[in-house]
Amino acid sequence: DARVTQTPRDKVTEMGQEVTMRCQPILGHNTVFWYRQTMMQGLELLAYFRNRAPLDDSGMPKDRFSAEMPDATLATLKIQPSEPRDSAVYFCASGLAPAREPTQYFGPGTRLTVL
Binding site for another protein (CB under 8 A): 4, 33, 42-43, 45, 48, 55-56, 91, 93, 97-109
Upstream peptide bond of 98 is cis (omega within 30 degrees of 0): yes
**Smaller CB separation from another protein, 81 or 108:** 108
> Which CB, 81 or 89, lies closer to another protein?
89
CB closer to another protein out of 76 and 106: 106
Q: DSSP characters for the chain?
A: ----EEE-SEEEE-TT--EEEEEEPPTT--EEEEEEEETTTEEEEEEEEETTEEEE-TTS-TTTEEEEEEETTEEEEEESS--GGG-EEEEEEEE-SS-SS---EE---EEEEE-
- Shortest Å distance, C-beta 35 to another protein: 8
Closest separation between CB of residue 70 and another protein, Å? 22
Least distance between another protein and beta carbon 29 (Å): 14
Nearer residue to another protein within complex by CB, 28 or 98: 98
